[in-house]
């Protein structure tokens, strides 16, 4: 059972092992030397990059004839061919001569995206290969890293997160200098954990190739010193079935990138268990976006930028988590990529009706990995490279973009570890204390704006600056707000929802003895404020208290008037099976096994 305090005046009885009383007092907002006011106090100051106490900058290999750019992360070439028992070199200096591959657009566009000076080396990036790294090769790569000796007391362990829908293993590698690789050992190390997840869309191969590079650099290369300050878990390919046939969805047609609240797919459930057990402070999802597609059809241009970046943008993410994501992660990452000559834009896609010329930033619903992690009081980040539909074209540049963006996030975590942990601790305490108080955002929407967007002319390769309608998720607006309840009551028939909530790490209690609570139904379709009334609560039903750190996840899942919650998805089949409890209940609960 999570360590969050239980509901005020609630008694909890463990099944078949005797009863015990929960602490009765609602947790108050504890005094904090770090933060004293949610609305106006800035985050604590942090050192500039390179300040005393920061990890040393990563070694760089400059292109011939040029000085190294700060922050470049590249694999170090080996002086001789490796022995069979050793890992092959990841990178080598790229040849300066050569012909461009056949491209789906003209050479003028290709010239805007030259290969980097470093060639990355994974099974799928071999020059003679036509296919990207297979799932079996990913497992072999990670297993080799786990078995080989690593410097600086680094431990690496391969985890089997569970099979995909077709039975393919979903691989993860834990990298740490803790005393062990289990969740408790990482927690005891007092180091923050970063989770890196790649290729949720099967047609985003640069993500998994880049994460193989990052895994090796953490285990044996240039990023290894960061493990003195952080732990890292790498999941190179979250959707092996889609990757096998080069389609975005899982085998059953689900877009798992938006399945992180409902957890319909085993792939999303595997990631949820990983997050629940290891409690990462930073979660980065790595993918790719189309170079052409609807952008070319609707706007007559091609995507100009190497990277699309975004952090969690959904209602009920604490403002300090948002501020930390923006100032400690997004801004340094943008600067690091720009120093390397890589162009950056907010994550976006064409939206609206044909001819409307509207772009929308990636969404505000709490169903994506980055948004849901924001609700779990972690920094949720999304990094996508220009690549869907390009096959192997520009693959080295795409991997280069991903590797450097991910390395930037790892460095930011190491440099800001202490203040980030302070922020998260404060946010968790405040979240527990807010039960029964204030309002929650039930639904949010992006804010319509008009802005200039730079695309590429597909014939000339020149910049096209277009004035477009732009839906901004950075400036999301509340569409519907309600008073924050003390918790949610669920009928016994809502067992599927209970299982999902517990998989997310939420505390769910079973009602041990019948009683009554002051409750209201969650309004739907813009109904007026419902009437509150005392309702009978039978034994065997459930209660989800909101005085726990993950309360915003329960709010996203259990409010009725949303397109993404458990009622709308059918995990709860009847609206009367979920009630908003508006006063602290005096009930006896059983602890679930």
- pLDDT tens figures, 49-58: 333 333 333 3
Tokens (6 digits) for 312: 């969690």
Whether residue 139 contacts residue 169, with contact meaning beta carbons closer than 8 Å, is answered with yes
Residue linked to tokens 């404060």:
426
DSSP codes of every residue in 405-460: HHHHHHHHHHHTHHHHHHHHHHHHHHHHHTTTSSEEEEEEEEEEEEEEEEEE-TTT
Q: Which residues on adjacent β-strands are paired with residue 452?
A: 467
Q: What secondary structure letter does DSSP report for 69?
A: P
* 28 CB burial (10 A radius; 0-12, 13-18, 19+): exposed
The pTM of this model reads 0.85
Calculate the CA dihedral of residues 563, 567, 570, 574 and round it to 10 degrees. Answer: -140
* 200 CB burial (10 A radius; 0-12, 13-18, 19+): buried
Q: What is the pLDDT of residue 273?
A: 98
120 φ, ψ (degrees, to nearest 5):
-90, 150
DSSP codes of every residue in 156-182: EEEEEEEE-TTS-EEEEEEEE-SS-SS
Tokens (6 digits) for 458: 């597909």
Please give the chain's pLDDT, 593 residues, in tens.
333 333 333 444 433 322 222 222 222 222 332 333 333 334 444 333 333 333 333 322 222 233 333 333 333 322 222 222 222 333 333 333 333 334 557 889 999 999 999 999 999 999 889 999 999 999 999 999 999 887 778 999 999 998 999 999 999 999 999 999 999 999 999 999 999 999 999 999 999 999 999 999 999 999 999 999 999 999 999 999 999 999 999 999 999 999 999 999 999 999 999 999 999 999 999 999 999 989 999 999 999 999 999 999 999 999 999 999 999 999 999 999 999 999 999 999 999 788 788 999 999 999 999 999 999 999 999 999 999 999 999 999 999 999 999 999 999 999 999 999 999 999 999 999 999 999 999 999 999 999 999 999 998 999 999 999 999 999 999 999 999 999 999 999 999 999 999 999 999 999 999 999 999 987 766 565 678 899 999 999 999 999 999 999 999 999 988 889 999 899 999 999 999 999 999 999 998 87
Q: Which residues on adjacent β-strands are paired with residue 384?
A: 287, 308
| Alpha carbons within 13 A on the beta-carbon side of 75 | 31
Residues 6+ apart with CB under 8 A from 36: none
Q: Go through the chain and tell me how many residues it has.
A: 593
Tokens (6 digits) for 100: 């461009």
- Distances in Å between the Cα of 308 and the Cα atoms of 253, 428, 457, 461 are 25, 30, 19, 20
Q: What secondary structure letter does DSSP report for 560?
A: S
E strand or H helix at 367: none
Q: From the CB of residue 502, how many other CB atoms can be counted at a distance below 10 Å?
A: 17
Sign of CA dihedral 255, 258, 264, 269: positive
- Distances in Å between the Cα of 512 and the Cα atoms of 15, 44, 502, 517, 560 are 9, 45, 18, 14, 26
Whether residue 387 contacts residue 207, with contact meaning beta carbons closer than 8 Å, is answered with no
Alpha carbon 303 to its chain centroid, in Å, reads: 24
Q: What is the pLDDT of residue 67?
A: 33
Q: What is the pLDDT of residue 122?
A: 97
DSSP codes of every residue in 327-357: IIIIHHHHHHHHHTT--EEE-EEEESSTTS-
Whether residue 238 contacts residue 269, with contact meaning beta carbons closer than 8 Å, is answered with no
Tokens (6 digits) for 112: 């805007």
> Which domains does the chain possess?
11-25+485-591 (no CATH), 91-431 (3.40.630.10), 444-479 (no CATH)
């Amino acid at each position: 059972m999570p360590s969050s305090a239980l509901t005020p005046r609630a008694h909890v009885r463990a099944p078949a092992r005797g009863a015990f009383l929960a602490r009765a007092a609602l947790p108050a907002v504890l005094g904090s030397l770090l933060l004293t006011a949610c609305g106006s106090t800035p985050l604590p100051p942090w050192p500039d990059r390179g300040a005393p106490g920061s990890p040393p900058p990563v070694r760089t290999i400059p292109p011939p004839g040029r000085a190294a750019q700060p922050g470049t992360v590249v694999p170090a070439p080996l002086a001789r061919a490796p022995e069979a028992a050793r890992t092959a070199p990841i990178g080598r200096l790229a040849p300066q001569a050569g012909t461009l591959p056949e491209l789906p657009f003209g050479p003028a566009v290709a010239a805007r995206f030259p290969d980097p000076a470093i060639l990355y080396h994974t099974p799928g990036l071999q020059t003679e290969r036509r296919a990207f790294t297979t799932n079996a090769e990913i497992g072999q790569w990670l297993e080799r890293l786990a078995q080989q000796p690593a410097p600086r007391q680094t431990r690496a362990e391969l985890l089997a997160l569970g099979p995909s829908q077709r039975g393919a293993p979903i691989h993860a590698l834990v990298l740490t200098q803790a005393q062990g690789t289990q969740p408790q050992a990482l927690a005891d190390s007092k180091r923050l954990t970063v989770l890196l997840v790649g290729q949720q869309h099967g047609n985003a191969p640069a993500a998994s190739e880049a994460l193989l590079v990052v895994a090796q650099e953490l285990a044996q290369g240039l990023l290894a010193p960061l493990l003195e300050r952080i732990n890292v878990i790498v999941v190179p390919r979250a959707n092996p079935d889609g990757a096998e046939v080069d389609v975005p969805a899982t085998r059953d047609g689900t877009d798992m990138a938006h399945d992180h609240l409902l957890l319909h797919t085993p792939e999303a459930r595997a990631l949820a268990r990983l997050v629940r057990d290891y409690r990462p402070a930073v979660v980065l999802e790595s993918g790719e976006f189309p170079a052409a597609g609807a952008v070319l059809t609707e706007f007559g241009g091609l995507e100009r930028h190497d990277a699309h970046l975004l952090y969690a943008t959904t209602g009920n993410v604490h403002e300090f988590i948002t501020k930390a994501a923006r100032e400690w992660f997004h801004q340094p990452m943008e600067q690091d990529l720009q120093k390397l000559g890589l162009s950056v834009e907010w994550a976006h896609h064409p939206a609206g009706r044909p001819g409307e010329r509207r772009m929308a930033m990636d969404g505000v619903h709490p169903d994506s990995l980055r948004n849901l992690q924001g609700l779990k009081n972690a920094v949720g980040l999304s990094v996508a490279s220009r690549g869907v539909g390009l096959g192997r074209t520009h693959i080295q540049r795409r991997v280069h973009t991903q590797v450097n963006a991910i390395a930037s996030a790892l460095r930011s975590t190491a440099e800001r570890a202490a203040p980030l942990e302070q922020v998260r601790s404060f946010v968790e305490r405040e979240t527990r204390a807010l039960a029964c108080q204030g309002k929650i955002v039930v639904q949010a929407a992006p804010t319509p704006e008009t802005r200039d967007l730079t695309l590429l002319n597909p014939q000339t390769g020149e910049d096209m600056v277009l004035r477009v309608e732009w839906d901004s998720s950075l400036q999301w607006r509340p569409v519907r707000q309600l008073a924050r309840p003390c918790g949610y009551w669920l009928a016994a028939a809502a067992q599927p929802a209970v299982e999902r909530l517990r998989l997310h790490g939420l505390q769910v209690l079973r009602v041990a003895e019948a009683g009554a609570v002051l409750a209201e139904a969650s309004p739907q379709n813009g109904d007026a404020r419902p009437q509150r009334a005392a309702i009978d609560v039978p034994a065997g039903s459930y209660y989800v208290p909101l005085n726990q750190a993950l309360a915003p996840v329960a709010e996203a899942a259990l409010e009725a008037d949303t397109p993404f919650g458990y009622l709308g998805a059918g995990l709860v089949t009847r609206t009367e099976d979920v009630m908003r409890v508006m006063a602290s209940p005096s009930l006896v609960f059983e602890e679930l096994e």
